[in-house]
Amino acid sequence: MVQALHRTPVRGPTFIRLLASLTDADAPASPPPLPDRLSQWLDWKQSIALSTALDGRPVLADGAPFTDEDAEECARTRAALAQAVVGDRALSPAAAQDEIGIDAAIVRQRYLTHQRAMQAATGRLRGRLRDRLAAKDAEMARLASVDAAMEVALSPREHALLAAAPRLLGAHFEQLRQAAENAAEGAAGAELPAGETSAAWLDVFRKDMQSVLLAELDVRFQPVEGLLAALRAS
């Protein structure tokens, strides 16, 4: 008798849980505490830079004060990035009628395009909000310095980890396509119009890819939201 396999539930942000649901990998053991992780992620130069930001004397910078316009720009940028994902023709149901030419390499490239747009936009917003923090008072200037040090230290690791997403989506694409082809071949006497079978799995894939991209957008905006919260509270 075949027993059903039970996978360990994956804990963490929606982005991580969505990616895990698209793979056959088992969930890892409980991760170590954040301080232990940081000690593994930061080299001695990065640790010194972070220590300097924490313990050094912050320098107030000249700059424009934080206004509602800054918060509105963040909201507009996030909405535009989300709309770009939802409105991408390569991910829209209408494109299901034109499957010819769509392959894993193309969907990986589309994912990378959205990733780069997110990275550029959030980096620009993060820098602008740090400038607003550095112009407020000594404590906010210290927070801006710490955020800048953390971005420099963790960006390479973040980039490497997020690079796994398009690869996983590419593998998911191939798995869905292969399953659809196997199902079509196994349907005795089935004579479906060309592309009809594939349209269903492509639609499933597009929805999965959109969900992962929108979840990654949430992750990338967390530092921006943290800086906004600090500015609003100060």
pLDDT confidence bin for 125, thresholds 50/70/90? very high
pLDDT for 185 equals 72
- Complete DSSP assignment for 41-76: H--HHHHHHHHHHHHS-------PPP-HHHHHHHHH
> Is pLDDT at 27 greater than 80 in this prediction?
no
pLDDT for 40 equals 74
In this prediction the pTM is 0.82
Q: Rank 41-50, 80-89, 93-102 by mean pLDDT and report only the highest.
A: 80-89
What is d(CA 77, CA 72) in angstroms, rounded to the nearest whole number?
8
Question: For 115-124, 147-156, 158-167, 185-194, which range has the lowest pLDDT when averaged over its residues?
Answer: 185-194
Q: Higher pLDDT residue, 102 or 232?
A: 232
Q: Rank 3-12, 39-48, 121-130, 197-206 by mean pLDDT and report only the highest.
A: 121-130
Residues of the chain with pLDDT > 70: what percent? 79
Contacts of 32 (CB under 8 A, 6+ apart): none
pLDDT for 30 equals 62
Q: What is the mean pLDDT of residues 95-115?
A: 77
Please classify residue 63 by burial: count the beta carbons closer than 10 Å to its beta carbon, then call 0-12 exposed, 13-18 middle and 19+ buried. Answer: middle
Q: Please name the residue that has the structure tokens 């550029």.
A: 120
CA 11 from centre of chain: 16
What is d(CA 143, CA 132) in angstroms, rounded to the nearest whole number?
11
Contacts of 169 (CB under 8 A, 6+ apart): 22, 107, 108, 111, 208, 209, 212
pLDDT for 26 equals 55
pLDDT for 5 equals 41
> Is pLDDT at 39 greater than 80 in this prediction?
no
pLDDT for 71 equals 94
pLDDT for 226 equals 95
> Is pLDDT at 193 greater than 60 in this prediction?
no
Question: For 9-23, 30-44, 93-107, 188-202, which range has the lowest pLDDT when averaged over its residues?
Answer: 188-202
pLDDT for 35 equals 67
Q: Rank 26-30, 112-116, 146-150 by mean pLDDT and report only the highest.
A: 112-116
